Copies of this chain bind each other. A is one copy, B any other.
Amino acid sequence: MTLSEIEKALVSFLPEKDEYIKTVVSAMEYSLTAGGKRIRPMLTLQFAKLCGGSEECALPFACAVEMIHTYSLIHDDLPCMDDDDLRRGKPTNHKVFGEAAAVLAGDALLTLAFETVLSEKAAALNGFAKCAEAGRVLASCAGAEGMIGGQIIDIESENEARSISLERLRVMDEKKTGALIKAACLMGCISAGADETQKNAAARYAECIGLAFQIVDDMLDVTSDEATLGKPIGSDSANNKSTYVSLLGLDECKKLASRLTDEAISSLSVFSNGAEDLTALALSLRDRNQ
């Protein structure tokens, strides 16, 4: 499935913009269509195919994960959180729609994610049991024990203004970015009716690429330039933020990212064939320059 097909599907789940709610729906749409690599929905679709399912059945689950990711960016950018004015070169949601509407648009996307997983369309394609399981996995990975837990660690680490330990950094990233990547992979497996061995392999793949992704992010903040990266570089060090690079050094980071990528790829060996795309994805995340 192409990027534009995913984006068309995402928009198709938005409510109609009637005279009463057009502001909040426009704010939801603004961030949902603001681009991005769409890695998470891609993972859902790829794992569905790999486990013998179909992209069509997994599509509502894929869209739901991207809705959760999008809401988390809107709330992250708020003045009381990271206070960012720009996201992917465009004004952030609250800069365009105001803070109140941005809070509500985030809340509404979070809610819409579950409405989508449990929609009649999703149920007709997957059955109730798979929809309920997918929704439970999504909630558990996106909630206080998952993504939101990672956010609170991040906020508290900034407030403490002291060096974060490697262990705390790892737990933070595992929750903040890893958990939702895991949900994306698992929901693809669930749609396809995968067995436990396949789900465990998908979870391991997700853990490895999630952590490698974050390590590469930290490396790019040091080694890239603003034009290539599309955002200011050196911000971590300027903010005295502990990163994998500040804690381990560039060389060790490079080795670790490679090792994790290798492990992600080797976890795919339980699938007899068809894992080329997920192998390529893991490599491209390691070798990206933005």
A residues near B, CB below 8 A? 15, 20-21, 23-25, 28, 71, 75, 78-81, 98-101, 103-104, 106-108, 110-112, 114-115, 118-120, 123, 128-129, 131-133, 135-136, 138-140, 142-145, 148-149, 151-153, 155-156, 168, 171-172, 175
Contacts and interface: CB of A to CB of B under 8 A. Distances in A.
Given A20-B175, A28-B144, 4 more contacts: A100-B155, A106-B107, A112-B144, A128-B128
A108 B148 contact: yes
10 contacts: A20-B168, A23-B152, A24-B149, A80-B100, A108-B144, A108-B148, A111-B143, A114-B114, A114-B139, A115-B143
Contact of A132 (B78, B128, B142, B149): B128
A45 B111 CA distance: 23
A75 B139 contact: no
Interface of A is mostly: helix
Nearest to A120: B136
Contacts of A75: 103-104, 107
B104 A80 contact: no
A75 B145 CA distance: 20
Contacts of A101: 152, 155
B111 A142 contact: yes
Contacts of A15: 143-145
A99 B80 contact: yes
Nearest to A123: B132
Quick one: which of A81, A104, A168 has the most chain B CB within 10 A? A104
A261 to B, nearest CB: 26
A110 B23 CA distance: 21
Contacts of A156: 23
A120 B140 CA distance: 12
A72 B186 CA distance: 30
B148 A119 contact: no
Contact of A103 (B78, B114, B135, B153): B78
A79 to B, nearest CB: 8
A279 B191 CA distance: 44
Contact of A110 (B107, B120, B171): B107
Nearest to A131: B132
